Amino acid sequence: MRALALAFLLLLAGCQLAPVYSGGSQGPAATMLGAIEVAPIPEKTGFLVRDRLVSRLQPNGAQEAPRYRLVVVLDDRIDGFGVRGDNSIIRERRTLRARYELFDIATDSRLLLATAGSDAGIDVVTSEYAVVAAEATAVERLAQIVADQIVARLAQFDPAKAAPTAP
């Protein structure tokens, strides 16, 4: 059993895995995330995504002058499917997709172009208020999921290894 554990440790040491958030608030990931400013995102859904991004990227407020700018463009859709006998919709799918770009502020070059997204199902009931409330709850949850996906991707990104491109 010890030989198996030793072999596993030797194998693991060779793969060069390292924790993303090693070093805590002074580590490379936290330092890079804290240097990102988030450009305004239009509409209510954009406000929700931006608010979540700012709270995750700078949990203690802006710590230093930003070196990077994050630009996010959202695509928020609601599609109906499933039809009753009277041709009314019985189910909706709310889809939130984000296309985001990370720019170096000093050179205005794009370092990263990526996407994130998620879907949520909504039951359409006879109460219009309940449907509106369900749609609002879905967009809040989707905004959180999409923002978390963006932050997770940015935490793994190393700007030093990026090949800058024109916007």
In a domain, 5, yes or no: no
Predicted pLDDT at 22: 47
Task: Provide φ and ψ at 79, rounded to 5°.
Answer: -115, 135
CA distances from 147 to 85, 115, 127 (A): 39, 11, 31
Q: Residue 85's pLDDT is what?
A: 75
In a domain, 10, yes or no: no
CB contact burial 41-63 (16+ within 10 A = b; e otherwise): beeebbebbbebbbebbbeeeee
| Domain interval for residue 40 | 22-161
Average pLDDT over the chain reads 83
61 domain-assigned: yes
Read off the CATH number of the domain in which 68 is found. Answer: 3.30.160.150
Q: What is the mean pLDDT of residues 105-116?
A: 93
Q: Is residue 75 part of a domain?
A: yes
Q: How confident is the model at residue 45 (pLDDT cuts 50, 70, 90)?
A: very high
pLDDT, residue 11, reads 62
Given a contact cutoff of 8 angstroms between Cβ atoms, the answer to whether 95 and 76 are in contact is yes
Given a contact cutoff of 8 angstroms between Cβ atoms, the answer to whether 84 and 50 are in contact is no
**7 located within any domain:** no
Domain-located, residue 167: no
Residue 57 lies in a domain: yes
Q: Which of 32-41, 67-76, 157-166 has the highest mean pLDDT?
A: 67-76
Domain count, the chain: 1
Q: Strand, helix or coil at 35?
A: coil
- For residue 2, which amino acid is it? R
Asked whether residue 15 is assigned to any structural domain, the reply reads: no
Neighbours of 27 (CB within 10 A): 16
Per-residue pLDDT of 111-137, as tens digits, reads: 999 999 999 998 888 888 998 999 999
Looking at 27-36, 103-112, 134-143, 158-167, which range is the least confident one? 158-167
Structure tokens at 114: 């990526």
